[in-house]
Chain A
Amino acid sequence: MAKRIPPSSDPLSGSGATGGAAPAPLLEMRGMVKSFPGVQALRGVSLTLRAGEVLALLGENGAGKSTLMKLLGGAHSPDAGTILIDGRPCSFPNPQVARRAGVAVIYQEFNLIPGLTAVENIFLGQEVTRGGFIGRQEERRRATELFRRLGVQMDLDLPCRRLSTAQQQLVEIARALAADARILVMDEPSAALTSHEVERLFQRIRELQRQGLGIIYISHRLEEIFTIANRVTVLRDGENVAEKPVAELDRTEMIRLMVGRELKDEFPARSVTRGDVRLEITGLRAGRAVRDVSFTVRRGEIVALTGLVGAGRTETARLIFGADPREAGEIRLDGKALTIRHPRDAIAAGIGLLTEDRKLQGLVLGHSVRDNFGLPNLERLSHGGFVQRSRERTEFLGYRETLQIKVPHAEQRAGNLSGGNQQKVVLAKWLARNCEVLIFDEPTRGIDVGAKYEIYRLMNELAAQGKAILMISSELPEVLGMADRILVLHEGRLTGELADARQATQEQVLKLAVA
C-alpha cells in the first residue's frame, strides 16, 4: 500500500513540481500501479488534468480506466504512485478524503439513495447542520442555487427513483458541486441518455469548464470525444499509450491506439467443419437492452458475440437461456421452435449457459464441487427422489479426468477453486447434461493465462464434436483468435457480422462496436 500522506496544507511543502513559471496542473497522477489477485490492472499510468479542460480517457474494456478513476476517487488504494493536486501530493485512503480534496467521481451506476429527494441526496454525508439539526431551508436554498448554476429546473421534493436518468445525473453533478469539487470524473455519462439529453449534458459540461473545473470524461463513443474533449489520454493493458490534443487525432488513429496489440500465439489451432444450422435466433427483443437481434450458430462453429460494455451481449444470452423474460423473438434448435420461459426449458432443450460471473451466478460457492456438478443433472442422477451419490461422484471424477480439473477430491468447496477450475466445473455440469448448444459468457474472465489456453482448447474440442458454441467476449484478441464468425452489437442492435473471423482485424470490430 502506498504511504499515506495527508493532503498538505502548506503550499510550499510540495514536491517541487511547481518549480517552473507555469502553474502546477490541477491534477497529476504519476506512475500509478495497482494489481488485483491474478490481474495487473495498472502498470505505472500517468495522467495530467488542467483546470478548465475536458480530458477524455480512452481504452478498451479492461485497459485500466475504471481502476485509475477508482484510485483517484479513493475507492481503491494504489500499490504505488503519486497523486498531486495543485502540485501537492495527496493520498486518498477512502472516498470521503478524496471528496474533501475536491475530487468527485460520477460512476456509471449512480450512487443515489432512491428513496431520498434530490436535496437529501446532494447533501448526504455533507449535511448543513445547525446545532445538530439539519438546516432544511438552507440546504434547499443551496440546492436551488446549484441547479440554477447548472441552468436546469429540478423538482426538489420527488424521491430520486422517480427522476429520469438524465435528472439523476444532474443530481449527481449538483452533489459534486455542493462538495466544491474541482475535479469531476464522469464514467460513461452518456451511456443511458438519449441523444437530446447528451446534447444538454454537453452544455452543462461546457458551463462547468468555464467555471474552472477539470473534467475527466470516459466514453466509448468516439464522436462524443471529438465534440467535448480538449485532450485525450489513451490506456492499453494498464499502460499509457498516448496523450494528445484531440485536434491531432482522427478516428482511425484513435482506434489504432486503443487496440495496437499484436495477436500472440495464445490460441490453439483447429480445423473447422461447419455443419447445418443448429441454433437460430430471430427477432430477439427486450426493452432497450436487446433490440431485434437475429443470428444463427452452425454445428461445429464458434460464433463470437462482441461489443462494448452495455451493448446487450449478456442480455442476449440470458434471453436465449430463458433467464430473463423476452418481449419477442423466436429460438429454434435444429429447426425446431423452442418454447423457453424458464432456464429449465432451455436446459431441457440442451442449451447450457456458462455465466459471466461464476461467483454470483454459476456456482453455489459454499457447496462442494460434486453438489454443483450434480445440480442440473439430479433428475438423471436420482432414482425415486433419492440422489445416487456414488454415481454422481463417479461421473464427476470422470469429468475431472477429461477436463483436467485440479481439485483434490469431489467434496472440495467450489469457492476454494481457482477461476479456471471453477469454469471447468461449470463446463462439466453442462457437458454431463448433454448440452448441444453452449453459451460461454466471458469464458476467460479472471482466469490466468495458462488456464485460458486450456479453456480455449476445450471449446475447440467441443466444437469439433459438433456442438454449437456462442462465445460472448469483450476481449478482442480472444474474439479474433477463437471465433469462426463475429457478431458485433452496439446498444442492443446487431451492427455487423464478420463472416470470416480469420481475416478480420480488431479495427474492423471496434469500428462496428462504436458505430
Chain B
Amino acid sequence: MKRTFADFLSHYGTLLGLLLLCAYFSVVTYSEQSPTGAGAATGLAPVIRKQLGATGRVLIVGRDQPEDVAFVRRLEQELSASGIRLAGVVTGEPRQAREALQKLAAAGEKLDIIAGTTVAASWLVFADLKIDFPTLGSPTVLAPRSYRWPNFLKSENLLNIANQIAVIAIVAIGMTLVIITGGIDLSVGSLIALAAVLTARFIRDWAGGTQASVGGMILACVVAIVLCGVAGAVCGGLITQFGIPPFIVTLALMLVASGSAYLLAGGQSIYQIPDSFVWLGRGADLFNLPNAVVLLLILYVLAHILMSRMRLGRYLYAVGGNREAARLSGVPVERVLLFAYVASGLLAGLGGVIMASQLKSGSATYGNMYELYVIAAVVVGGTSLSGGEGRMFGTLTGAFTIAVIQNGMNLTNVESYTQKVVLGLVILGAVLIDKARQRR
C-alpha cells in the first residue's frame, strides 16, 4: 500500500504539485465577478420575466463595446421571445441613455424596468429617476447578479496560460529528448529567434510581404523550421563524431544562431506580414481552443507515443541510461543522438514560427533566455539531467507549473523581480524532490 502510494507520487508527483498550485491560486484570487456578454443576458432574462409578469415595458442599456453589445442583443432576443415589450435599446454613452429617457418621458410612456450591464446599470443617469423623470413612473434598475469565482479559474485566464506557455512547452519536447539521452541543448532560445526572423524575412522578401499567399507563408515557415533542424543536425554531428560535450557545441550554436538572427533582422523587427499570418498563434478554431494549444497537445501525444511505444524511444532511454551497454547491445547510438538534436532544432524552429505568428512580426530578441525556461520545464517535470529517465507528460506538467506560477503571481500583483526569485526556488525545490525520490 505504502509502496503503491510512493509509486503514484513518483509518477504523478509533478501533476499533484501543479494541481495544488492551481488550487492555491484559485483560493487567493477568489473574488466578486460581474457577468458580462451574452451569458449575463441569459441569466438576467428570467429575473425580468418574473418581476414583470406578462405586461410591462423594459429599456435595455449597455456601452458601445463588444461584450455589452452581445449582452444587449441577447437580452433583446430573450425578452422579445417571451412577448415582453421593449421601450428601447441603448448602446452607447450615458448621454444617449438620457436622451432615450427624455424621449420616453416626452412621449408620456411609462417604464417598469431598466436592464443594463453591470457598468451601465450604475450610471448616474439612473440614480434619481423619480426626480429627473417623474412621468416615467418608478422603474427598477436591474443588472446581472454578481457572483464569486476565482479570477484564476476564469476560462479566458486558463486559455491565456496555455497560449503563453505554448512556445516553451513545444520546445521542451525536443529538450526532453535531448536530456533523456544525457545531453543538453542550449541553442533553442536562439533558434527560436532565428526561426522567427527567417520566417518574417522570407515572407517579406520572397512571398510578397503583407500580400503573401497562404502557400507562400507555409513555405516560409517550413524552410525556417528545416534550417533550424539542420542546425540541430550539425550539433548532433559534432557531438557524435568528435565527442565534443553537448554543452559546448550547443553553447556555440546559441551564439552563432543569436548573432545570425540579429544580422538577418538588421537590428529591427520585421512586421511586413499579412494579417492572416496570426492564425497559428492567435486563432482558435477548435472548441475555442487556441490553435497553438491544439498543436501543442497533438505534439505531446505524438512524443508520448514515441517515447513509450516506439523502438526509437526505447533507444533514446537506453542511450541515456547506459551508453556503453546500449552500444554493446547493438543500439545505433550515434544515429539516436543525432535524431534527438535534430528534433530539438526542428521544434525550436516551430516555436519560433509560433512566436512570430503570435506577435505578427519577427525579431532577434525573441526567445531570449528561453533555453533556461525550457530546461527548467523539463527538470521540474521530473526528467533526470543525468539521462535515461523522464516522461513527456512530466515535461508538459513542468511547463504548465512554470506558467501557472507566473500567471498566478501576476494575478496577485507580485512584482516581476520577486517572480524570478520564486521561480528559481521552485526549480530548486523540484530537483530536490526528484533527488529524494531517487534515493528511495
Contact = CB atoms under 8 A, between A and B. Distances in A.
B322 interface: yes
B332 interface: yes
Interface string B48-73: 00000000000000000000000000
Contact of B310 (A344, A362, A367, A382): A382
B388 A347 contact: no
Contact of A344 (B309, B311, B332, B388): B332
Contacts of A348: 330
Interface in B55-102: none
Contacts of A362: 325, 328
A386 B326 contact: no
Interface in A406-430: 429
Interface string A177-201: 0000000000000000000000000
A374 B329 CA distance: 10
Interface stretch (A37-45, A225-233, A263-271, A353-361): A353-361
Contacts of A343: 327-330
Interface in A273-324: 321, 323
Interface string B294-323: 000000000000000111101101100110
B321 A344 contact: no
Interface string B104-126: 00000000000000000000000
Given A347-B330, A364-B388, A366-B389, A371 B318 contact: yes
Contact of B328 (A321, A366, A382): A321
Contact of A367 (B309, B321, B328, B332): B321
B318 A361 contact: no
A375 interface: yes
A11 interface: no
A97 interface: no
Given A378-B311, A386-B311, A364 B328 contact: no
A430 to B, nearest CB: 9
A450 interface: no
B331 interface: yes
Interface residues of B, number: 21
B324 interface: yes
A368 B310 CA distance: 16
A429 B328 CA distance: 12
A111 B394 CA distance: 42
Given A385-B311, A386-B311, A376 B330 contact: yes
A376 B325 CA distance: 10
A324 B389 CA distance: 28
A363 B311 contact: no
Contacts, number: 74
Contact of B311 (A323, A366, A382): A382
A243 to B, nearest CB: 42
Interface string A330-363: 0000000000000110011000010100001111
Contacts of B388: 364, 366-367
Q: Specify which of A321, A363, A367, A386 lies most central, judged by the most chain B CB atoms within 10 Å of its CB.
A: A367
A387 interface: yes
B322 A360 contact: yes
Interface in B318-348: 318, 321-322, 324-332
Contacts of B318: 364, 367, 371, 375
A387 B310 CA distance: 5
B307 to A, nearest CB: 11
A385 B325 contact: no
Nearest to B327: A343
A360 B321 contact: no
A323 B310 contact: no
B324 A361 contact: yes
Contacts of A360: 322, 324-325
A386 B309 CA distance: 6
Contact of A323 (B312, B317, B321, B328): B328
Contacts of A367: 317-318, 321, 388
Contact of B312 (A355, A366, A371, A385): A385
Contacts of B321: 364-367
A295 B101 CA distance: 110
Interface of A: 321, 323, 343-344, 347-348, 353, 355, 360-367, 371, 374-376, 378-379, 382, 385-387, 389, 429
Interface of B: 309-312, 314-315, 317-318, 321-322, 324-332, 388-389
Given A353-B328, A365-B322, A382-B311, 15 more contacts: A344-B332, A347-B330, A360-B322, A361-B324, A364-B322, A364-B388, A366-B321, A366-B388, A367-B318, A371-B317, A375-B314, A375-B330, A379-B311, A385-B311, A386-B310
13 contacts: A353-B328, A355-B328, A360-B322, A360-B325, A362-B328, A364-B318, A365-B322, A371-B317, A374-B314, A378-B314, A378-B315, A379-B311, A385-B312
